[in-house]
């Protein structure tokens, strides 16, 4: 079921999310709802925070990962010293994009929907997406990765587009 996305500057986007402890049907239903919401947005990644739920849950839908992937309680345990720049945005701020530089590769530890612990290395676009979503789980909206000048310019442009009903 598609859920309502919360939009910048909603406080839910600045709150750190708490670990999921129940690996039950409610978790599976929430993951399915996140996927439905992501597809409707459209986007390539979503967290529970994007729908106002402060739980550490990420759904990515990337061809390089084989399509839909669900990550419960993801934690990045290693960052590559090599960096990569990529244009980022958010389903909570549609139409606003800017270049962000992040580590090119990471190792992420997470649980699947059954609670099984998994460790995975990610590179390139998949690594960028996971870092973006883990930042969101930590209460760091992607704009905080921008310089103050770029952030202020983008926020002004976003606010203007919202006043004009874009």
3-state helix, strand, coil in the chain (%, to 5): 35, 30, 35
**Closest among 35, 73, 76 to 56, alpha carbons compared:** 73
**Closest among 40, 59, 41 to 49, alpha carbons compared:** 59
- CA distances 93 to 9, 41, 142, Å, are 9, 11, 10
Catalytic residues: 133
Residues 127, 117 contacting (CB under 8 angstroms): no
* Alpha carbons 17 and 7: distance in angstroms, whole number: 17
């Amino acid at each position: 079921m598609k859920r309502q996305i919360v939009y910048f500057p909603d406080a839910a986007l600045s709150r750190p999310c708490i670990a999921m402890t129940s690996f039950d049907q409610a978790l599976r239903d929430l993951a399915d709802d996140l996927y439905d919401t992501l597809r409707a947005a459209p986007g390539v990644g979503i967290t529970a925070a994007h729908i106002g739920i402060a739980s550490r849950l990420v759904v990515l839908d990337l061809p390089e990962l084989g399509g839909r992937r669900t990550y419960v309680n993801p934690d990045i345990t290693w960052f590559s010293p090599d960096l990569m720049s990529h244009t980022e945005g958010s389903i909570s701020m549609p139409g606003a994009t800017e270049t962000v530089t992040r580590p090119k590769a990471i190792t992420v530890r997470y649980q699947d929907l059954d609670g099984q612990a998994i460790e995975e290395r990610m590179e390139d676009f998949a690594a960028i997406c996971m870092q973006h979503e883990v930042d969101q789980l930590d209460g760091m909206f992607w704009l905080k990765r921008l310089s103050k000048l770029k952030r202020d310019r983008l926020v002004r442009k976003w606010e203007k587009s919202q006043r004009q009903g874009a």
